[in-house]
Amino acid sequence: MKSGRIVVAERGGPDVLQWELTDACDPAAGQARIRIWTAGVSYADMLMREGVHPEKTPLPFTPGWDFVGEIDKLGDDGSRFHLGQMVAGLPIQGGYAQHICLAEAEMTPVPEGLDPAEAVCLILNYVTAYQMLHRLGHASKGQRVLIHAAAGGIGTALLELGRLVGLQMYGTASKSGFDTVSKYGGIPIDYESTDFVDEIRRLTGDGVDFVFDGIGGTYVWRSFKTLRPRGKVITFGLTASLRKGELAGGLRYRFRGLARPALYSLLAFFSPGGRRISLYSIQNLRRLKPAWFDEDLRALFDLLREEKIKPIIAQQIPLHEARRAHELLGEGSVLGKIVLRCDDTKTR
């Protein structure tokens, strides 16, 4: 059986994403083959495409951190899953495909009745937001938080989950994202025309308890300046390495992007007031605490089923048009998450 996928054979911009037909994988013992319905598009995919993400991605590879699909073949040695069951996964690569084979330990059941396009939004974006809020931050009602890129995929997840906690939220965004930030109860800050450090001081008097920063670079230290005593910056991304979705400034960003947060974290440790900078990585935390990922994703599926959360889907784009999806994300001002439709018969 033939199966389509997107392949990156060389580093570069969106044009390196190529459509390829190949034989569908065959699951080994302890694995399942999943027919993928939806896959998420993220900045992490773009960083891996450019070769500047901390995860190793030898060429050639198929991008795609997160997916939702249906099991269509099981390997030997029995299974706690069954044919036709809807599952979710965070393989880090391989999601931009019509089929994928994974160990059963890497899959989480998706409750019946959930929209695959909405469900896929939870795997990377909402688990990241949930774990930063609850596992690292232990955020509580009434605390103040600053969310960078607040109208984006992870930004809107932080806003929605933060509202459930009862946080006082501020979000940097372009003016086109102001309504989205306000919709979730956040106070928008125009990062294009306003110094967010000065604006946070003006709005709060003494700063915020948490900053969630997926931009990286110099933003990390500037964010540190907005903290109240004993506040914390949680940094989780390197989008400052990209300009219009492509690598900015050459491969020196590979070192600089990783070294700066570590240096800033060290400087913060010796600063007065007990303020700290913490680095969050969904894949590293999952490796250290695999049960947390599964627990948190299940909790989020429950919130979706109970209609307590509703992810914003920016666009749904056919898998073979993944290049266009990367171009759109790279242009900026995408509200919510772009989703790839890998099987049109199973998506809306």
Provide the pairing of β-strand 168-173 with 144-147.
parallel
Taking residues 321-335, report their average pLDDT. Answer: 92
Rounded Cα–Cα distance for residues 28 and 21 (Å): 21
Query: Cβ distance 226 to 195 under 8 Å?
Result: no
Provide the pairing of β-strand 31-41 with 86-89.
unpaired
What confidence tens digit (pLDDT) does each residue in 192-239 have? 999 999 999 999 999 999 999 999 888 899 999 999 999 999 999 877
Return the pLDDT at 268: 72
Q: Percent of the chain having pLDDT more than 70? A: 91
Rounded Cα–Cα distance for residues 177 and 149 (Å): 9
Return the pLDDT at 191: 92
- If pLDDT is split at 50, 70 and 90, which confidence band does 347 have? very low
The DSSP secondary-structure symbol of 307 reads T
Among residues 186, 185, 92, which one has the least CA distance to residue 148? 186
| Bridge partners for 2 per DSSP | 23
Scanning the structure block, which residue is given the tokens 């300046």? 225
What confidence tens digit (pLDDT) does each residue in 126-184 have? 999 999 999 999 999 999 999 999 999 999 999 999 999 999 999 999 999 999 999 99
Q: Which residues of 40-59 are buried (b: 16+ CB within 10 A; e: fewer)?
A: bbbbbbbbbbbbbbeeebee
Rounded Cα–Cα distance for residues 8 and 87 (Å): 25
Residues in the chain: 348
What confidence tens digit (pLDDT) does each residue in 236-293 have? 987 766 666 666 655 555 555 556 666 777 777 768 888 999 999 999 999 999 999 9
Give me 74's structure tokens: 């099981």
Q: State yes or no: pLDDT of 302 exceeds 80.
A: yes
| Bridge partners for 234 per DSSP | 212, 278
pTM of this prediction? 0.93
Q: State yes or no: pLDDT of 345 exceeds 70.
A: no
Q: State yes or no: pLDDT of 90 exceeds 80.
A: yes
The residue type found at 71 is I
Q: Which stretches within 205-242 are classed as H helix? A: 219-224
Return the pLDDT at 253: 53
Domains of the chain from N-terminus onward: 2-121+289-346 (3.90.180.10), 141-280 (3.40.50.720)
